[in-house]
Amino acid sequence: MYHKWLDRWDERRARRGEEGKHPTAFALDAELAFPGADKVRSIEEFCLLAEEAQADQSFFERPDGGDQGFQRQDEWLKFPSDITTDVEENNTVWAKIAESGSLDHALVVFHHWNARARNNQLARFLSRRGITVVEIAMPYHFERSRPGSTHADYMLSASLGRTIQSIRQAVLDGRKLIRWLKSEGYKQISVLGMSLGSWVAGLIAAHDSTVSKASLFLTAGSLADMVWTGRATRTIQGCLAPRIELTDLRRAWCHVNMENYGHRLARSGLNLQVVLGKRDKAVKPEVSENFMQKLSGAGARPRILDLNCGHYSLAMPPYSLMAGLSLDRFLHARNQPNPQLGLRAL
């Protein structure tokens, strides 16, 4: 009975999240994803460029340029993004810092799609537990929002190229912030990603050996499958479906598919935690399970907490408490290879 009520609550929350979302036209926009690719006219050409990008180890490396321009004032940090977009506000990265008073450990947090506020409660809790928490604004969110927009439609949309550009920008922004934290003297760096933010956190962990721990909440490997099947992205799927098949969308977004970097996520020195919702309609359990199998096949052994809640009800007690305490234990555990641990909530 309780879980039926929980499912209805999640559905009401999903409907509220649809307010302000409008269909956007399907577009390749290859020049946004792949500089110099303005002559791409077909999905096949786009997919070939994406597959080349996946094989290119420098795709998620910073462009030429330094790490200058950081400005710190009290709890706020801002710095220029290494990718320049046509939205001026989006070209400056903002982050909020909750100091712990120690340089032992810093956690960079990547929020969910269309987040309206940073997670101050989590930041306060962990900072009191000795971990400095840095909550970064992903592209087109918070201080970086596009003027006049009601949601972050440039971060994730039916524009194949703009979506890739936004995720790449988020990864490069996060890696730039991590370099700054290291220069400030932090000994250990961890990342936490929630929903869409988990793709960013996971890609950073896969490409940046500085990261020793990565916690991925409500995650999966294939961004294409998440968008195609998820409750929160059905407006985007409705724009994509008439123009592209799922098989081609997987190819077009292959280089932002964490499944394709399983061997990197299985690297020595990286500890993984995954928190999933068995009743999740936004990131379907079968899509997440496929990712877990791919990780296992690559040799990764994440700690898995599988809760009997939905995508949005993870924020409700008791699930929020269970997830928070699990995260706290994971972050404070000694760095060592973790056996796969499946926890099934009642």
Structure confidence by residue, pLDDT tens digits, 208-236: 999 999 999 999 999 999 999 999 999 99
Interval 196-201 mean pLDDT: 98
* Chain mean pLDDT for the chain: 92
Q: Is pLDDT above 60 for 340?
A: no
Instruction: Tell me the C-alpha distance between 226 and 75, whole Å.
Output: 34
Q: How far apart are CA 138 and CA 305, in angstroms?
A: 25
Helices marked H in the chain — which ranges? 2-17, 30-33, 43-55, 120-128, 160-183, 196-207, 223-229, 234-240, 246-252, 262-265, 285-298, 319-332
Instruction: Give the neighbor-by-neighbor strand order of the sheet with 71-73.
Output: 71-73, 76-80, 92-98, 132-136, 105-110, 188-194, 211-217, 271-277, 303-307, 341-344
So where are the chain's domains?
2-26+93-344
Is the pLDDT score of 285 beyond 50?
Answer: yes
- C-alpha to C-alpha distance for 145 and 2, rounded to whole angstroms: 37
| CATH H superfamily, domain 2-26+93-344 | Alpha/Beta hydrolase fold, catalytic domain (3.40.50.1820)
Neighbours of 156 (CB within 10 A): 24
> Quick one: pLDDT band at residue 165, thresholds 50, 70, 90?
very high
**Model pLDDT, residue 20:** 64
Please tell me which residue, 191 or 1, carries the higher pLDDT value: 191
148-164 average pLDDT score: 94
